[in-house]
Amino acid sequence: MLFDISVPSVLFLLTAASVFLYPKLETKIKALVEERKFRMRDVASLIIFMGIAVSVLVFVPAYAIQAFFLLFYSLALFVFVYSAMPKKWYIAPILPAIFLLLYFFFWGIPQMDIFAAVFVVFVSVYIATFFEWKTLAVFAGLLTVLDVVQVFGTRFMVGYGEKVMKLALPAAIEIPLFPYLGLMTLGLGDFLLSGLLAIQTSRKYGRRFGYISVAFIAGAFLIFEALQLWYFELLKQSYTPQEAALRAAMPATVFIVSGWLAALGVRYIYNRLTAKKAVGEQQ
């Protein structure tokens, strides 16, 4: 059977890094954002905005997307460093400056992947402070529905991904597959969702189970990705490899949420069995 361990491994490592860093930066970030939390209407508005943004960006000229992304990314890097080291604010502009220098003069896939990984870990940690358990569950559900519609229905997510990758913007991570030969691109939105789910799980049930949920997410991704690779090989019999890759595109949020729900389900069953065993021993 066709399978790959590279993408699930990268997903596991970056998500675990988010869980590890969150408690170390939580207090500083909360002080910066003044304990603000998303409400249900905020979550709904965010999903609507994301859907509209992806749909519009497909038709926006490439240079406009590039300019907007570079500005947003640089400002975000500044905020992340400032949040982590507010007393040494003068260090904050250094990372954005390095990013812009590399992007215009020394850019390549390794640099793109490194900055994308750093960005998504800090975004996960930063945004996690705005969510609570219920609002995140709603956000994950709505985002998954949006992803399915944009991948299978409108195909806007696929078109947006193509445009971003042609610009070599750090909005995705391109990973060499192993043992299957090839490359796979995974958008930062998928890593972000995985990080948010794992962080909230860690906050609710403890860090140990947070890491267990990360393992379940990576395991589910491994299984679903194997099915995706099989489908890709099937499509290559009728289409060129490039066309087959586009047609084989799948909403990775489904993989991630499935793994997270599986972890919660196993925990629930384990606790029920443990409780029944304890009752039986007392009797």
Domain ranges in the chain are 6-282
- Has this prediction a pTM greater than 0.85? yes
The DSSP code for 4 is B
pLDDT per residue as tens, the chain (283 positions)? 689 999 999 999 999 999 999 998 888 887 777 778 899 999 999 999 999 988 888 888 888 999 999 999 999 888 888 877 777 778 889 989 999 999 999 999 999 999 999 999 999 999 999 999 999 999 999 999 999 999 999 988 988 888 888 899 999 999 999 999 899 999 999 999 999 999 999 999 999 999 999 999 999 999 999 999 999 999 999 999 889 988 899 999 999 999 999 999 999 999 998 888 777 777 6
Q: How far is CA 165 from the centre of its chain?
A: 16
Buried b (16+ CB within 10 A) or exposed e, 97-124: eebeeebeeebeeebbbebbbbbbbbbb
In 3-state terms, what secondary structure has residue 238? Answer: coil
Beta bridge partners of 186: 173
The Cα–Cα gap between 223 and 278 comes to 35
Which residues are CB-contacts of 167 (< 8 A; sequence separation ≥ 6)? 62, 65, 66, 69
- Give the tokens for residue 107: 């850019």
